[in-house]
Amino acid sequence: MKKLLTLSLLGLAVAATSAQARDDDQIRIAVDVPYEPMEFRTPDGELTGFDIDLGNAMCAEMKVECEWVVQGWDGIIPGLMARKYDAIMSSMTINDRRRDKVLFSEPYFTPPSAWFAPSTSDLDDATEDSLDGMTIGVQRGTLQDNYVTDMYGNVADVNRYSTADDMVLDMESERLDIVFLDYPVGQSTLLESENRDYKVVGEMLTEPKKYFGDGFGMGFRKRDQDLADKFNQALKTLKDNGTYDDIEARYFDKP
Amino acid sequence: MQALLDQLDALLANNSIFTLQTLSFYGDGLVTTVQLVFMSLIIGLILAIPLAIGRSSKNGLIKWPIFLYTYVFRGTPLLVQLYLIYYGVVFVEGIQESWLWPVVKDPFVPALVAFTLNTAAYTTEIFRGAIKATPKGEIEAARAYGMSPALTLRRIVLPSAFRRALPAYGNEVIFMLHASAIASVVTLMDLTGAARFVYARFYAPFDAFLFVAAIYLCLTFSILYLFRFLEKRLLAHLQPMT
Amino acid sequence: MLDLQGYGPRLLEGAGVTLSLAVLSLVLSVVLGLVTASAKMSRSVIAHRLATLYTTLIRGVPDLVLMLLLFFGGQIGVNALTDWLDDATGVDIFININEFIAGVVTIGLIFGAYMGETFRGAFMAVDHGQIEAGKAYGMNDRLVFWRIRFPQMMRHALPGLSNNWMVLLKTTALVSVIGLADMVRIASEASKATREPFTFMLVVAVVYLLIASVSELAFARLQKRYSIGYGEMD
């Protein structure tokens, strides 16, 4: 039995690209694209966005080498636990459900969630009555998904997407009546869209905390408290020296 | 092994994943999958019969377009076909204003169309093979009885071709069941869609996907035994005498 | 004319990923298929049962579900194993399964089951008299395998092999769902960004048809080669 196990382990080691000792020189950070303006790709494939720039600035501040790993959203936390990478920086909202699995940094950005609909839509409020029979778009496994599924799953159709891009496309083609998104993402993909006019429906939401949590944080494995502390320190420095504001200005219009 | 048993224990004792909510997702998913597969198979079958006859025709104008259709649909991934139909349909000029829009707006219909066209292409080729394999003697006998070509087709060629096509068609049914799993990429909440939802919500790949794999396994075996039974009944004359 | 809007090079890269993924998983599935076929034909009851379990399970579950399971669950499983090794022996290794390898292993594993059935049927079709004749010539088992059973088996296996390859090729498209940048993935990214689904998806469809047609020709030639000596019989 032992021999068999050793053999199969050997086989696995050969099959895997890299069997390596854990090392700390390089930090791998997972990100799910596209999620404009937080993280997305240019046509030639280069990663860009608020998270990317801020992450790179923090790594430069810490004088470590960072590598971005692109990972689909629905596998992003299992991938961290599975040590495919060392951190997540992908517009991930800090909430209790995720705290069970993930160690979070201090929040580095705090956006609300908002409802978006075509400006021609009759919807002017998101309630159980007004959403009755509507088709709502959310990204699978996001806090918006959890919120909509629990609150409106019984009265409305919920279409779940792997990426925010897919959702925007179905919104444009009128397959969806309304979507529920992080506000900055809705702002740059819908409100600033050249193809159609959209509006924000109802109030922006940051409560209840059970769903909406405490802003975006970087995620780490529970035992990597040191790494989290280093990033918290770097974030503080960047906020103090103005770099953070520069990056923010690059991607968001100040209201 | 002990770890596995412990995990099983924990799963049963503290079952936070398989709640009423998630089980109802799986239940609805089962209904969607069965509906989608069953409907596409039926429509595909109805389309495939005339196509297979046309594909066996000697007239090039009938034969080659059908060949092209089956070649393209069998030579490209179903996923690509699904993307093309789901995203393609919205670019038809004025579709959003037409009466068709409420129908194709729902992801179910584009998925059904893609699956139907795909299975019709495979089924056409299966039937064509079966028609081609009709023993010459049977056709000659029908002629000798004075049957017209149409009558020969209806009474002799097709019935025996259907029987011969049965085993291959059984495989096609199972293939379609498995292929239907990609419906989840266009937001349909079929069985796989339900599993992906549960996975994304609870970060539990084993629970979510093993459970759904078991359901698919049961479905596959049901189809398998159904076709075994049919073959026994309908192909009894081909069995070796004992 | 065809305007790929700057996505051309990445599409080409994607086509490379698709092709290498398909070829590597074909190799793996052939190896697994040969092992499975031998296990099924062996006298060992355990080997036979294991092989049957493997082929039944794999062929009963959709490719995509297996892929999601192995891709998302696989790393956790491997880690559990390495953690256990760490606890038990103090050897601390970390095995990182990247998407490409996961794709190759998954598709190879799936098609190994189908290949197993193909090879089993083909081995059984080899005339037993030929094997006996080989033995009568004083060949040992290994020589009989390489000179008689294998080449003749290939003649019977080729149609099934060719069929499996075509299905395998199309199955590679599923890796786009788990995030591997094959050509379907890149085409779908491009069509969403440019709002032109037809341009990119049709290009991808044509490339698939091209690969399929070329391999059809290649298999026809192979079939000819392995049928030498059978003349016009088939």
Helix axes of C99-125 and C74-89: crossing angle, nearest 10 degrees: 100
According to DSSP, residue B241 is labeled P
Scanning chain C, the segments in alpha helix (DSSP H) are: 8-41, 45-60, 63-68, 74-89, 99-125, 128-136, 141-144, 150-171, 183-194, 197-226
Number of domains in chain C: 1
Which CATH number does the domain housing residue C43 bear? Answer: 1.10.3720.10
The answer to whether residues C90 and C35 touch, using CB atoms and an 8 Å cutoff, is no
Split at pLDDT 50, 70, 90, the class of B173 is very high
CA–CA dist B39, B176 (Å, integer): 11
The structure tokens 């959709």 sit at C62
C-alpha torsion angle, residues A124, A125, A130, A133 (rounded to 10)? 80
For residue C11, the chain B residues in CB contact (below 8 A) are none
Half-sphere exposure of residue C170: CA atoms within 13 angstroms, side-chain side: 24
A164/B75: higher pLDDT: B75
**Which domain range does residue C147 map to?**
10-227
The answer to whether residues C57 and C63 touch, using CB atoms and an 8 Å cutoff, is no
Which pLDDT value is given to residue B6? Answer: 65
Neighbours of B127 (CB within 10 A): 26
**Domains of chain A: which residue ranges?**
21-110+214-251, 113-212
Report the CATH architecture of A21-110+214-251: 3-Layer(aba) Sandwich (3.40)
Q: Among C171, C198, C213, whose Cβ lies nearest the Cβ of B88?
A: C198
pLDDT tens per residue, range B28-87: 999 999 999 999 999 999 999 999 999 988 888 889 999 999 999 999 999 999 999 998
Q: Is the pLDDT of residue C6 over 80?
A: no
> For the whole model, what pTM was predicted?
0.81
Contact B77 C69 (CB under 8 A): no
Q: Is the pLDDT of residue A241 over 90?
A: yes
ipTM of the complex: 0.85
Q: Among A70, A83, A169, whose Cβ lies nearest the Cβ of C79?
A: A83
pLDDT tens per residue, range B14-39: 566 677 777 888 999 999 999 999 99
Which pLDDT value is given to residue B92? Answer: 75
CA–CA dist C72, C39 (Å, integer): 29
The per-residue pLDDT of chain B, averaged, comes to: 87
Chosen from B98, B187, B198, B201 to mutate, greatest number of chain A CBs within 10 A:
B187
Q: Is the pLDDT of residue B158 over 70?
A: yes
The structure tokens 């000697």 sit at B58
Q: Is B179 on the interface with C (CB under 8 A)?
A: yes
In a domain, C74, yes or no: yes
Split at pLDDT 50, 70, 90, the class of A170 is confident
pLDDT tens per residue, range A77-119: 888 887 888 999 999 988 878 888 899 999 998 888 889 998 8
The answer to whether residues B183 and B22 touch, using CB atoms and an 8 Å cutoff, is no
Neighbours of B9 (CB within 10 A): 10
- Domains parsed from chain B with CATH numbers: 31-172 (1.10.3720.10)
- Where is A173: in which H helix or E strand? none
Exposure pattern of C208-222 as b/e (b: 16+ CB <10 Å)? beebbeeeeeebeee
For residue B30, the chain C residues in CB contact (below 8 A) are none
The answer to whether residues C198 and B84 touch, using CB atoms and an 8 Å cutoff, is yes
| All partners of chain C with 3 or more CB pairs under 8 angstroms | A, B
CATH of A113-212, one of 3.40.190.10, 3.90.1660.10, 3.30.1490.270, 3.20.20.140: 3.40.190.10
